[in-house]
Chain A
């Protein structure tokens, strides 16, 4: 590999990771918009997913400036946890997991959804989609780094 190729490889690895950062930042601001601006109540499960999502904004940013591919490991652990929670939430909303299993407070059952975009995208589905995408991007960066 010439030094130019190496440079390009870093560039593209960086770009994919950067795309992941843009995604988590957009998702973070989006969820804050729902809860803080639109006053949509936040259920416990949503909070757990936020716990997995919000730190990624900082973790990925640190890994981007300067570029440190090791960040993939740390970010993947967070994204994995968030993905599992989002999956659980989606199954709960879909009614596959029974109502009695839901840990909820203040009359905001997690099995209730407040917003649907295009008729089928509710917030939990959006969350699962984003965590999946983050996983894909992280995996892609990892592949680019190891090859």
Chain B
């Protein structure tokens, strides 16, 4: 057989194998996702986690996030927009997935702020100032603390709560559930327990629209 023929046919076989494997994997994966959706509601949501939007909304977006994640900060206004777009029907629950180095300390501050009812102002402050407290993709907890110091909070209480059992337990639960849901990147969204078919704002708003149509 001619070398060129050998080369081209082997190249073809390799590419074909890649395409086939991708299709089989994607198929298998979407089957798994469909099967696990809904059933995992208790893992997806946590009682007491910070919620924005009306309490009695029938559509809940659960977002696993890292305060140091740039994409999470980018998505934040979009998620808020979704709540406004369907007044009274959609709420968002924030859960911690501190994947960045140093973020574990920062989520403690957020959860401690949550105990004072200031989770969202604190989160917005941190998201808006990410450049000031994240250096080379590593969270600098002392800098984050410095930024939060400018906020109207009971700082003494915050420091105590940060290492208290309530905060620790909430974060541990989030990390544990995140692992159970195999979250390896942030943000990760679930709409009424249903994961996004693929990542993207379009997909999120689509899924929310479907959920709203179904629930109301």
- Structural contact, A29 and B185, CB atoms closer than 8 A: no
Distance in Å: Cβ of B5 to nearest Cβ of chain A: 11
For the complex, is B169 an interface residue (Cβ under 8 Å from A)? no
Q: B-facing mask of A58-85, CB < 8 A → 1, else 0?
A: 0001001101000000000000000000
Distance in Å: Cβ of A59 to nearest Cβ of chain B: 14
Question: If the complex has contacts A29-B15, A65-B7, are A107 and B22 also in contact, measured as CB distance less than 8 A?
Answer: no
Query: Smallest CB-CB separation from B98: which chain A residue?
Result: A107
Q: B-facing mask of A82-118, CB < 8 A → 1, else 0?
A: 0000000000000000000000111101000010000
Give chain A interface residues in 1-31, CB to chain B under 8 Å.
14, 18, 21-22, 25-26, 29
Kindly state the separation between the CA atoms of A39 and B198 in the bound complex, as whole angstroms: 11
Kindly state the separation between the CA atoms of A18 and B6 in the bound complex, as whole angstroms: 10
- Structural contact, B14 and A14, CB atoms closer than 8 A: no
Chain A residues near B (Cβ < 8 Å): 14, 18, 21-22, 25-26, 29, 32-33, 36-41, 61, 64-65, 67, 104-107, 109, 114
- Structural contact, A107 and B68, CB atoms closer than 8 A: yes
- Structural contact, A65 and B3, CB atoms closer than 8 A: yes
Q: Which of B6, B101, B184 contacts A39 (CB 8 A)?
A: B184
- Structural contact, A26 and B3, CB atoms closer than 8 A: no
Query: Smallest CB-CB separation from B139: which chain A residue?
Result: A107
Give chain B interface residues in 3-44, CB to chain A under 8 Å.
3-4, 6-7, 10-11, 14-15, 17-18, 21-22, 25-26
Distance in Å: Cβ of A6 to nearest Cβ of chain B: 15
- Structural contact, A107 and B100, CB atoms closer than 8 A: yes
Kindly state the separation between the CA atoms of A109 and B136 in the bound complex, as whole angstroms: 13
- Structural contact, A64 and B3, CB atoms closer than 8 A: yes
- Structural contact, A25 and B21, CB atoms closer than 8 A: no
Kindly state the separation between the CA atoms of A22 and B97 in the bound complex, as whole angstroms: 40
Chain B residues near A (Cβ < 8 Å): 3-4, 6-7, 10-11, 14-15, 17-18, 21-22, 25-26, 66, 68-69, 99-101, 103, 136-137, 184-185
Kindly state the separation between the CA atoms of A26 and B10 in the bound complex, as whole angstroms: 11
User: Using Cβ atoms and an 8 Å threshold, which residues of chain A touch B17?
Assistant: 29
User: Using Cβ atoms and an 8 Å threshold, which residues of chain B touch A40?
Assistant: 184
- Structural contact, A38 and B14, CB atoms closer than 8 A: no
Kindly state the separation between the CA atoms of A26 and B137 in the bound complex, as whole angstroms: 32
- Structural contact, A107 and B14, CB atoms closer than 8 A: no
Question: If the complex has contacts A18-B7, A106-B100, are A33 and B185 also in contact, measured as CB distance less than 8 A?
Answer: no
Distance in Å: Cβ of B7 to nearest Cβ of chain A: 6
- Structural contact, B3 and A25, CB atoms closer than 8 A: no
User: Using Cβ atoms and an 8 Å threshold, which residues of chain A touch B99?
Assistant: 107
Query: Smallest CB-CB separation from B199: which chain A residue?
Result: A39
User: Using Cβ atoms and an 8 Å threshold, which residues of chain B touch A61?
Assistant: 7
Q: Which of A22, A41, A65, A106 contacts B14 (CB 8 A)?
A: A22
Question: If the complex has contacts A26-B14, A107-B100, are A37 and B185 also in contact, measured as CB distance less than 8 A?
Answer: no
- Can you list 8 pairs linking A and B with CB atoms under 8 Å apart? A25-B11, A41-B185, A65-B7, A105-B137, A107-B69, A107-B101, A107-B103, A109-B101
Distance in Å: Cβ of A25 to nearest Cβ of chain B: 5
- Structural contact, A32 and B18, CB atoms closer than 8 A: yes
Kindly state the separation between the CA atoms of A61 and B7 in the bound complex, as whole angstroms: 9
Q: Which of B3, B21, B100, B184 contacts A37 (CB 8 A)?
A: B21
User: Using Cβ atoms and an 8 Å threshold, which residues of chain B touch A29?
Assistant: 14-15, 17-18
